[in-house]
Amino acid sequence: MSRILFICAHAPTERYPQAGQKIALRHLENYINTGVNVDVVVIANQIEINAATDLVSLFGNSLYTYPIKKIDKIISCLTHFYIPFKFATRWQNTVLEKLLDLLQNNHYDAIHFEYPHAAVYLDYIKQLISLKSTKTIISIHDIIFQSFLRKAENNLLFGIEAARLFHYEKSLYSSASELWVLSKKDRNILNSLFAIPERKIFIKPPKLSNFIYQVQRHPAKIEKKSLLFWAAMNRPENEEAILTFINKCFIPLQKQEPKFKLYIVGASPSKKVLALASQQIIVTGFVEDPTSYFEKAEVGIVPLLQGAGIKLKTLEMLEAGLPVIATSVGSEGVDATGKNLLVNDSFDEWLSLLINYELWQQNL
């Protein structure tokens, strides 16, 4: 029977409120469904590992977890300064020891790295595998270089790190047997930017949340002039997006039309976001079943300024039938063909578009 070693930089689980962890779990479940044996090594924040009780029940003694704290990441970055910081955060000597032990005692048909920074161990374990009989796979949720390049526009240090990431990621991806990406956009970036042959790149579109397919939008249910921002609020780029939208668009919008309402739906909003709560700005925090918000919001918004990779939040709102207005970052990896999606990077123009929503809809 085939055997897979699955190394993950976050905890694959349905029980942590971020899209990436769910994508990782889908990949694991696909292996299980084909009947292969899987050993799972997880290097992740303690809060994720604690949440992943579904992972424990699935893998039992074949699961090896390594919780990391902020101080662990700092030490790893200092002691492995020659590695880009994002990758160095997942380096732990105890993890390497476990990987070497597993490889010395088992033959694996494939070694699967979920998230690019899980593959920080690839060069160290190559000596123990035959690349002819053991496939190496890197599942790329985000091209990290792209994310840092955006941040580098206003910060020289991010520019230096982006340069390091470019060379590191190009070398890493070139050495793997297969690369999995979530969208055509990421495949094209790997091919054009890093000169990775297309034959090595496989597009694995993400599965959307189950509740999306239960959403039933009826005109009578829709709350006029209501906006939905759907996101994991503990991610810095999501917090930055909604704070910028409120300051540059929603406050001016309310001055012109006080009836506009904003729903911020997603787990772990910061104190800064919670402080914005009012009759017209509803901050829900974690919601077990967000269906009702998808059914009543008139428009979905994705005002992202940072980040890389496919935007699951955009795909989910579109699939549920919401018209969506997004920045170019917020629409990355989304095939807008036949979709109710408007892409615009000017919040001044967002203001006009939302005020004249019916006209916008007529022109789509």
Q: Which residue has the tokens 């919001």?
A: 297
Q: Which two tokens stand for residue 153?
A: 């526009």
Alpha helices by DSSP H, the chain: 19-33, 46-51, 53-59, 70-79, 85-88, 93-105, 122-125, 144-151, 156-175, 184-193, 236-245, 251-256, 271-274, 291-296, 312-319, 347-355, 357-363
Please count the other Cβ atoms lying within 10 Å of the Cβ belonging to residue 364: 9
Mark whether 26 and 174 lie in a shared domain. yes
Burial of 107 (0-12, 13-18, 19+ CB in 10 A): exposed
Q: Of the candidates 203, 232, 249, which is a domain's last residue? A: 203
Mark whether 20 and 151 lie in a shared domain. yes
283's CB contacts (< 8 A; 6+ apart) are 264, 269, 273, 274, 276, 277
Please count the other Cβ atoms lying within 10 Å of the Cβ belonging to residue 188: 13
Mark whether 193 and 227 lie in a shared domain. no
Mark whether 280 and 322 lie in a shared domain. yes
Q: Enumerate residue ranges in the chain where pLDDT < 50.
A: none
Rounded Cα distance, 109 and 129, in Å: 10
Mark whether 179 and 233 lie in a shared domain. no
Mark whether 110 and 136 lie in a shared domain. yes
Mark whether 193 and 214 lie in a shared domain. no
Write phi, then psi, for 286 (nearest 5 degrees). Answer: -65, 135
Q: Give the global pTM.
A: 0.79
Q: Of the candidates 170, 203, 236, which is a domain's last residue? A: 203
Mark whether 258 and 329 lie in a shared domain. yes
Give the domain CATH number at 89: 3.40.50.2000
Mark whether 114 and 263 lie in a shared domain. no
Q: Of the candidates 203, 223, 243, which is a domain's last residue? A: 203
DSSP bridge partners of 42 = 8, 65
Q: Using DSSP bridges, classify how beta strands 3-8 and 110-114 pair: parallel, antiparallel or unpaired.
A: parallel
Q: With left for phi above 0 and alpha for psi between -120 and 50, is residue 28 left, alpha or beta?
A: alpha
Rounded Cα distance, 26 and 24, in Å: 5
Mark whether 280 and 354 lie in a shared domain. yes
Distances (CA, A) of 294 to 7, 100, 104, 201, 227: 35, 47, 50, 34, 10
242's CB contacts (< 8 A; 6+ apart) are 229, 231, 233, 264, 273, 303
In this structure, are residues 185 and 105 in contact, taking their beta carbons and an 8 Å threshold? no
Mark whether 164 and 32 lie in a shared domain. yes
Write phi, then psi, for 352 (nearest 5 degrees). Answer: -65, -40
pLDDT tens per residue across span 170-224: 999 999 999 999 888 889 889 998 999 999 999 998 888 888 888 999 988 899 9
* Range of the structural domain that residue 182 is part of: 3-203
Total count of domains within the chain: 2
In this structure, are residues 290 and 230 in contact, taking their beta carbons and an 8 Å threshold? yes
pLDDT value for 300: 95
Mark whether 226 and 180 lie in a shared domain. no
